[in-house]
A and B are shown apart, each in its own frame.
Chain A
Amino acid sequence: MVAHLVRLKLALLRNGLRRSPWQVVGLVVAALYGLGALVVVIVSMAVLSVQEPDIRGLVTVLLGSVLVLGWWVVPLIAFGLDSTIDPARFVTFAIPRRSLLTGLALAGVIGVPGAATVGAALAMAGVWWRTPAALVVGLLCSVVAVATCVIGARATTSAASTLVTGRRFREVMAAVAVLPLIVVGPLLGRLTSGATVTADLLEQVADVLAWTPFGASWAVPDAVAEGRWGLAAARLGIAVATLVVVAVVWDRALAHALVNPAHQKVSSKGRGLGWFDRLPATPLGAVTARCLTYWARDPRYALAVAVVPVLAVVLYIVSPGGGLVLLIGPIAGYLMGWGISADVAYDGTAFWTHVAAPLRGSADRLGRVIAAGSIAVPAVTLLTVGSALITDQPETIPALLGLSFGVLLTSLGGSSVLSALVVYPVQLPGENPFQTKQGASTASVVSQLVGWLAVMVLCLPEMILALVAVRGGSLALGWVTLLVGVVLGSVLLAIGVRVGGRTLDRTAPGLLSKIVAFA
């Protein structure tokens, strides 16, 4: 049975590769990445093993802890990353739980992360080759550590998934989880540039980690090498206890999941007709109302909005008091305007509602633009004025507003045309935003790039004007920029909606059959 599950995992991997050449490319890239990381680990372990003074214990504990922590936490954020061998799929088969447990754990090692982890663990044991006793103990402890990684990952995910079956909760979690990751890079950069990391500090961290579930198994060979057998036994105890605990947690969670298959809880309720009551009762009003409702209820749109303030914070952290923050207005204008370039793809197969209705393409385009615009215009205004005030340059406001609105209107027009021409696979609502959809074609990447270039070129007039106005500090030129940005942007938007509408009248059934083929 265990062999069956491992074979199943291999078959799933193989069939996935057969489905699309992009899957092969993805696997090759991942494999190269994993191999690269592994080579780095092996080489540094080789160097480390002959290094004086002896910091083998320090490095292996730190590195190993990060590895275990990664296995436990990353799948939590990246929910359902490997759903191919989701225990829920075995509910209907009479498989003894012990076999299922072992089989799924072994199957979890198959794949690039698993293989790389095994390699790294062996390399980290190999670092002790000069002390045979420590090497033997180290190899045994690597096995414990890898098992802790894999089973721990299963334990945390299945424990969390029994807690988190509500749709809303999962969506919010998935969206919220992205935000700290975006901020954490720059923040770390600032922190580390301030406080220098000393060897002492690392030593202290490693000492603590050696007594935690993350580092205990990696710290055993170090104690053996120093001949402190009591210490080694204590750490081994922690490591084994950890493995037992995660195995039991997983076993319990699995037992629970097998008899209580996950189901969606009924939670949210809408109130009345919402935007449909407040906007004109026309096809255009209906499309606008539907899009506005989606901007609020669909986490994919909410994410696009949530990223903008985070970006402002990032720009501020990168250059406090500097001019970079002033760019947030135009950047937000581009992001929010370009946000609807995948609108038809986001609709998914539900787009049939528009195709089956006697709806003009121009009404479809304009409704989406109005919905996006009514959120983007206040947001962009707020960010532009705010960024100018925060950097104490209020005289730049007209010029910056001109540029921001120019970019916003132009990209709204551009995306109106683009989304009538190209669709590509996107996440379904509620899917993990980390999971990039397989099969995003070259055409989609190229079309995004061309669209971006086109927007940049079409915005050149207000860009140059804004640059001159801000550099020269000319308020009059700033007002000219505002006028040019708004007028030129509006004209381009009108053209975009018109052309996009005509195009959509022609392409809508074709787009729909492409979306159906993705699903």
Chain B
Amino acid sequence: MAAPTDIASDITPEAEASRTDAAYGGAMSNAPALELRGLWRKFGDKIAVSGIDIVVPAGSFYGLVGPNGAGKTTTLSMATGLLQPDFGTVLVHGHDLWASPVEVKAMLGVLPDGVRLFDRLTGEQLITYAGLLQGLDRETVAARTTDLLAALDLTADATKLVVEYSAGMTKKVALACALVHAPRLLVLDEPFEAVDPVSAANIRDILGSYVRSGGTVIVSSHVMDLVQRMCDHVAVIAAGHVLAAGTIDEVRGDGSLEDRFVDLVGGRVSGEGLAWLRTSSA
């Protein structure tokens, strides 16, 4: 199996950066990779996201954490052009996403959660499809597809239909689709869910070297421990608001991220409650 670092050296966000910046007539390297300003979104009567501001510095590994139903997926969908915000602005490297979606989306690699893939394609076809939609040429797509399949341990299943993949394999092939065009900003919603520990470690390596080579990653996760070890920045959101944001050390203070998260979000119930659950009492 190819070492994960091969991927990162092959697909560097910097090469793509010069391309996209040239299209805007100048370098914009000072702008944050992603800036969300006052995002609001309502579904029916329920306000899912109410005024979220997040600044993701370029070159950072940013974690987005929050309890179930906090608005993480809604926020990330609006940040990637999948969901129109009711109010607010999304700036990707200084460019307004919702003002010129086609141009800005080329800079983004997206892994959404809770949606299907074109699962009647084989894994190999699906990654090829994602690459071609991004406007890559045939040789580049073919080479990168082979690399990605190897790095994510999917080579043996490359010719199998995605509909027959397990949940973890589906997650991995979706991640490959997000990576294939070497985007400047990766937005990954729950990338480690259902992924086995070995693959998860490989993915962490890939993302780590991607960040070291100048790329920016934003991930959402439930696993505090993972975020604390992997990310350098974090934002805690709950009920559609940002409760805390900054570098990991700023947010967690003296304790662990998990303790701080529980403090911020609240809702811990004492484990003493379910007395009947003790097997001795039966």
Contact = CB atoms under 8 A, between A and B. Distances in A.
A269 B160 contact: yes
B122 interface: yes
A297 B116 CA distance: 16
Interface in A269-285: 269-274, 276, 281-283, 285
Contacts of A276: 125, 128-129, 132
B106 interface: yes
Interface stretch (A42-50, A320-328, A446-454, A506-514): A506-514
A358 B184 CA distance: 14
Contacts of A170: none
B5 interface: no
A270 B125 contact: yes
B116 A350 contact: yes
Contact of B115 (A283, A286, A349): A349
A502 interface: no
Contact of A167 (B82, B104, B164): B164
B87 interface: no
Given A270-B122, A283-B135, A298-B120, A352 B115 contact: yes
A143 to B, nearest CB: 43
Given A355-B82, A356-B80, A274 B125 contact: yes
Interface string A497-518: 0000000010001101100110
A23 B133 CA distance: 39
Contacts of B18: none
B105 interface: yes
Contact of A269 (B80, B114, B133, B159): B159
The interface size bin for chain B is 35 or more
A285 B137 CA distance: 12
A195 to B, nearest CB: 46
B116 A360 contact: no
Interface string B117-131: 111111011001110
A357 B134 contact: yes
Nearest to B80: A356
Interface string B78-103: 00111110000000000000000111
B115 A358 contact: no
B83 A290 contact: no
Interface in B35-51: 43
B138 A512 contact: no
Given A352-B115, A353-B129, A270 B164 contact: no
Nearest to A348: B116
Interface string A402-440: 000000000000000000000000000110000000000
A266 interface: yes
Given A509-B81, A509-B84, A353 B133 contact: yes
A264 interface: yes
Contacts of B177: 353
Given A270-B159, A276-B132, A358 B102 contact: yes
Contacts of A294: 118, 120
Interface of B: 43, 80-84, 101-106, 108, 110, 112, 114-122, 124-125, 128-130, 132-138, 141, 159-161, 163-164, 177
Given A270-B159, A349-B115, 11 more contacts: A274-B125, A282-B135, A290-B129, A293-B121, A349-B114, A350-B118, A353-B117, A355-B81, A357-B133, A358-B105, A505-B101
Interface of A: 167, 264, 266-274, 276, 281-283, 285-287, 289-290, 293-294, 297-298, 347-350, 352-360, 429-430, 505, 509-510, 512-513, 516-517
12 contacts: A167-B163, A167-B164, A268-B161, A270-B124, A276-B125, A276-B128, A283-B135, A350-B117, A355-B82, A509-B82, A509-B83, A512-B82
